[in-house]
Structure 1
């Protein structure tokens, strides 16, 4: 692996830990700050809101600077705001800290995706982008379980100290290993934003938000699914989440290879439909522990296999607006986070069991696949008309 790509992977690792570890730390944070668990859940929403706000805004502001300087500035923000989280004295300050910590998330991946594709060998752009997203999968295998354990055994504040340490290491690696790249000359922000006048842009945004909502409809309620339906003991959940993380790690690289071999759009189509099928099967096999473990690995793999293809699809469609488009795709991913968790919870409120969010997730992934098919059909029609 190129050292420059390793620097991006480290950034993805830190971002992955701070995003996903909150799910496991909610009881500890709630007890320490003297708030309810539902109130603590607002800290997750605040981070997602920060991603949605910061992704296009920060890239729009900083897009005229060299990519290396942008990445360094974003990682400084990430490190500082997570340090603020570690020392937040009360609920309000923690809420603000989480909002601010989310701001550089989407922008880092947006700029990082463009940088990774430029560093790649010709024909291996998506695989190069997948190296950056590997940091998110490693976070789910190692960082999140370790951070959760430290939060339970010692203090959740120590978990954020570790995140700060990862941020500092990433800063050093970016400084030493990331090559200097020229800034965009004669940048026209108005022209870049005109990308969002294209129907294709909104089709991709809808595909990401709805399709990846299938992942979060399942993953948001995975713990009660495993304990109440599959019959696993609560102390085994961490190990099963590591299994899901291993699936994400493997799937991430498979998705990158697929995008380079058959095109990002076709890879997105295949993987979203495959995710729909996998969640459909999980709905009916979750009472069997062996099948549950197998499908947890497969669903995790398919969920993250789509990351590199959709990122490359957005970048390839947004010629001249790649950084903003790449950042917006990450904002869309976080909209999918909120959408999946919300829609997956509706059948639970209506009194259905914990397999129902999986069914909702299957429908969302299928809808995302339909949008991908629509995008491909529209693009093919435009090519025929042009010919």
Structure 2
């Protein structure tokens, strides 16, 4: 199993996640700076995700015939430009605009990086290679995301975008110098890839992905504001919690990669059960700081593999259209990010900051129902061909 390509893909993933989710820890500061409400500041996250959801599959189909190295390099270069402009603290409309631009190529990068990594190894290591690439999400959670929040507490929110700029620059250098050209030798027709949209198992898997990501991001999008106002933590403590959240996530990504090789559906359901456990645990931890810290550690462990599990679950229903299935997983996952953030923001505006975990639980239950429905249908008529 050759892992070099997977690790380079992981580096780029860290740059992407630093840009997309690095803003989560500084949303309260951004809201104060621009004199907007926290739910309106949340548009910086939800709009990014919505663009991915609406354009991801089309952009991935268009890019499917190009050299994978060039595609990855172009995508990360745009993330770099976004970080540079954002770090100057432009007007809110411009900040929103430059954050939206790289969103068009985010799913292209992810699906291309995963396809390149999987192509570099053998079939039995597919999920482990995917885990390495998507492990960049958890690594960003433990390094750049909390670091951005920590520096914002010392300086100001603009410092968080400087962190994103540095990471994106490193990713550009890594892809440029360490990856060989990767031309696509056997391009699949658009029609053959679109066939997966006729499969009921794949459509149910898509719904599961959407509900699962919406469940987690209903709460995670407002992580800093929730911990600050409900658990009464300061910015420094919140950055430590983000760090803890990421540490447990790195471990769980590795464990999930191993578990997926044995059962995709059971692994997905096990980690998804956290969307039901976490709201009750946060509620009953009350003002006990140590109990809250323990809950956050478990929360991070159960949350972190959600993108890996979602991709694996959808690919298992469409094994012959890996890149397109991956792009749809990314798009509908980001639609989940957008909807979860918007719906939770509405509940915050109407009922208070303590509501997001319960919103997440409702989405989580819907997601578990989708897993049950697909399992029922496959037991009735037989599993998807090549399903693993």
Q: Deviations over 1:141-171 (max 9, x none)?
A: 1211222333444454454343233223212
Q: CA deviation at 1:232?
A: 4.0
- Alpha carbons 2:153, 2:235 under 8 Å: kept: no
Query: Relative to structure 2, which stretch is displaced further, 14-23 or 226-235?
Result: 226-235
What does 1:235-384 correspond to in 2, within 5 Å? 235-262=236-263, 264-351=264-351, 354=354, 356-383=355-382
Q: Secondary structure, in 3 states, of the residue corresponding to 1:24?
A: helix
Q: CA deviation at 1:31?
A: 5.8
Q: CA deviation at 1:62?
A: 1.0
Q: Deviations over 1:10-62 (max 9, x none)?
A: 11111111111212333554566x45245443322332223223421321111
- Alpha carbons 2:213, 2:336 under 8 Å: kept: yes
- Alpha carbons 1:211, 1:365 under 8 Å: kept: yes
Q: CA deviation at 1:274?
A: 4.3
Counterpart residue number, 1:130: 131
* Residues in 2 aligned to 1:75 and 1:235: alpha-carbon distance in whole angstroms: 30
* Residues in 2 aligned to 1:61 and 1:72: alpha-carbon distance in whole angstroms: 16
User: In structure 2, do the counterparts of structure 1 residues 78 and 221 end up closer, same or farther at CA, with 3 Å as the change threshold?
Assistant: closer
Q: Deviations over 1:204-235 (max 9, x none)?
A: 12111112222112223434543444454554
Q: CA deviation at 1:100?
A: 0.2
Counterpart residue number, 1:14: 15
User: In structure 2, do the counterparts of structure 1 residues 281 and 65 end up closer, same or farther at CA, with 3 Å as the change threshold?
Assistant: same
* Residues in 2 aligned to 1:306 and 1:141: alpha-carbon distance in whole angstroms: 16
* Residues in 1 aligned to 2:159 and 2:288: alpha-carbon distance in whole angstroms: 37
Q: CA deviation at 1:76?
A: 2.4
Counterpart residue number, 1:118: 119
* Residues in 2 aligned to 1:208 and 1:133: alpha-carbon distance in whole angstroms: 15
* Residues in 2 aligned to 1:385 and 1:8: alpha-carbon distance in whole angstroms: 29
Q: Secondary structure, in 3 states, of the residue corresponding to 2:268?
A: helix
Q: CA deviation at 1:301?
A: 0.9
Structure 1 unaligned blocks of 5 or more: none
What does 1:16-35 correspond to in 2, within 5 Å? 16-29=17-30, 34-35=34-35
Q: CA deviation at 1:364?
A: 1.8
Task: Give the structure-2-normalised TM-score.
Answer: 0.88
Query: Relative to structure 2, which stretch is displaced further, 72-81 or 153-162?
Result: 153-162
User: In structure 2, do the counterparts of structure 1 residues 91 and 268 end up closer, same or farther at CA, with 3 Å as the change threshold?
Assistant: same
Structure 2 unaligned blocks of 5 or more: none
Task: Give the structure-1-normalised TM-score.
Answer: 0.88
* Residues in 1 aligned to 2:159 and 2:248: alpha-carbon distance in whole angstroms: 28
Over the aligned positions, Cα root-mean-square deviation in angstroms equals 2.7
Q: Deviations over 1:287-332 (max 9, x none)?
A: 4332221121111111122322221222232244321220121122
User: In structure 2, do the counterparts of structure 1 residues 31 and 323 end up closer, same or farther at CA, with 3 Å as the change threshold?
Assistant: same
- Alpha carbons 1:64, 1:183 under 8 Å: kept: yes
User: In structure 2, do the counterparts of structure 1 residues 169 and 272 end up closer, same or farther at CA, with 3 Å as the change threshold?
Assistant: same
* Residues in 1 aligned to 2:185 and 2:147: alpha-carbon distance in whole angstroms: 40
- Alpha carbons 2:249, 2:300 under 8 Å: kept: yes
Q: CA deviation at 1:237?
A: 1.7
* Residues in 1 aligned to 2:226 and 2:89: alpha-carbon distance in whole angstroms: 33
What does 1:60-79 correspond to in 2, within 5 Å? 60-79=61-80
More helix by share: 1
* Residues in 1 aligned to 2:378 and 2:111: alpha-carbon distance in whole angstroms: 23
